[in-house]
Amino acid sequence: MTDMTRRSLVGLGMALPLLGQMSWAAPRSPGTPAATRPVRINFNESPWGPSSAARQAMREGIEQCGRYPYDAQYRLIDQFAAQNALQADQVQVCCGSKLALQHAVMAFTGASSLVVPEPSYEAPVEAALSRGTEVHRVALDRHHAHDIQAMLAADQAPGLIYLCNPNNPTGTLTPRRDIERLLANKAKGSVVLVDEAYIHFSDAQSCIDLIKEHPELLVLQTFSKLYGMAGARLGLAIGQASLLQRLEVYDGENVAAAPTLLGALASLHDRQLVPERKAENARLRDATIAWLNQRGWRCTASQTNCFMIDLRGPGKPVVERLAKEGVLIGRVWPSWPNWVRVSVGNEQEMLRFREAFAKVTVS
Ligand code: PLP
């Protein structure tokens, strides 16, 4: 960001709004003794954490914490760019992709609206509402994919159209040809954001390659999910340099933490990590869904590390009963009150989930 843009923003009095505690964020809790620790399959986190190579690199990163780690940040950007046939100025690092999402809402909505699928990840909607931006929520179609036609019809010239692929909370995919159709038919000036936080778990092709032809496409990825680094906070924004510059205004050329950057770099170098974790996640997810289906419970066709169960009645009491059994599952979306979201944990956690679920429900 130039001094000029920085000064003009301050001159315009554009203070960033403080985004308060979200209703669904993790509550503060007193320390829980290990023996009574609940199964936490509620936030789509990784049961595995950082890979062993990432842990080693993160320990080395501690030694470098006396200095601003711009060099590590440039190395990470160069590595990701090389692996994805991008230029270095088409990749931006941020402190978790949620921050980039919030910045995108600030940068691209202005006086115009935000279009989102429903249900989906709430962060962009909450960022928009905190600034009085109009939000159009468009129901998923009957396959639980984004209803692209309805999203295009929601507003003739929205500021930002948010897609989440695979979608949180359903875990379902929207076909690539539909995303291409949206890009081809959207109004000029509307930015399309494809949130690929969960793409590594799925068979879907990333939309990163589309940024070359589409100057108004922004893709977000994160190290929080498959890479198991949610606690280290690292996201990537990918787009044409001119688009990323509009985001950069809010980030002020920030640099991430050295252990985080080195852990992420080690993860990118490990070519086995994605296929191995993807296969293990799919095995555990599909076995759990099959077990539920056999007992008459319908689930979403998930391609990621979470899925939803149709309880055919209010979901919240079941979430509460499971919590009493020491199994924390995800929240209920108000537009889908009978469905609950379950994240995929490790083998032991999914067994404890089955036991508790069988106990608190009558199939
Ligand atoms: N996007 C989606 C769809 C998510 O589900 C999440 C977190 O759960 C995020 C973005 C934010 O992830 P992070 O800020 O950890 O990169």
- Is 0.85 surpassed by the pTM of this model? yes
Domains of the chain with CATH codes: 58-269 (3.40.640.10), 274-360 (3.90.1150.10)
Per-residue pLDDT at 159 exceeds 90: yes
Sequence-separated contacts (24+) of 239-245 with Cβ below 8 Å? 239/90, 239/211, 240/90, 240/211, 240/214, 240/215, 241/87, 241/89, 241/90, 242/215, 243/191, 243/215, 243/216, 243/217, 243/218, 244/89, 244/90, 244/92, 244/218, 245/1
To test the pocket of ligand 1, the residue of 222, 236, 260, 305 to mutate (highest count of ligand atoms within 8 Å of its CB) is 222
Residue 44 beta carbon below 6 angstroms from any ligand 1 atom: yes
Per-residue pLDDT at 99 exceeds 90: yes
Least confident of 18-22, 128-132, 242-246, 257-261: 18-22
359 alpha carbon – ligand 1 mean position (Å): 31
Residues of the chain with pLDDT > 90, as a percent, come to 88
Residue 165 beta carbon below 6 angstroms from any ligand 1 atom: no
Candidates 206, 191, 204; CA nearest to 240 is 191
233 alpha carbon – ligand 1 mean position (Å): 10
Atom of ligand 1 nearest to the CA of 230: 15
To test the pocket of ligand 1, the residue of 121, 221, 229 to mutate (highest count of ligand atoms within 8 Å of its CB) is 121
Residue 121 beta carbon below 6 angstroms from any ligand 1 atom: yes
pLDDT at residue 230, as a whole number: 98
Residues of the chain with pLDDT > 70, as a percent, come to 90
pLDDT at residue 65, as a whole number: 98
pLDDT at residue 15, as a whole number: 41
Tens of pLDDT, residue by residue over 78-96, are 999 999 999 999 999 999 9
pLDDT at residue 17, as a whole number: 46
Dist. CA 298–CA 309, nearest whole Å? 6
To test the pocket of ligand 1, the residue of 102, 224, 267 to mutate (highest count of ligand atoms within 8 Å of its CB) is 224
Residue 125 beta carbon below 6 angstroms from any ligand 1 atom: no
Q: How confident is the model at residue 28 (pLDDT cuts 50, 70, 90)?
A: low
Per-residue pLDDT at 100 exceeds 50: yes
Residue 122 beta carbon below 6 angstroms from any ligand 1 atom: no
Q: How confident is the model at residue 104 (pLDDT cuts 50, 70, 90)?
A: very high
Which phi and psi (to 5°) does residue 26 adopt? -60, 130
pLDDT at residue 27, as a whole number: 64
Mean pLDDT of 209-232: 98
pLDDT at residue 31, as a whole number: 59
Q: How confident is the model at residue 34 (pLDDT cuts 50, 70, 90)?
A: low
Residue 303 beta carbon below 6 angstroms from any ligand 1 atom: no
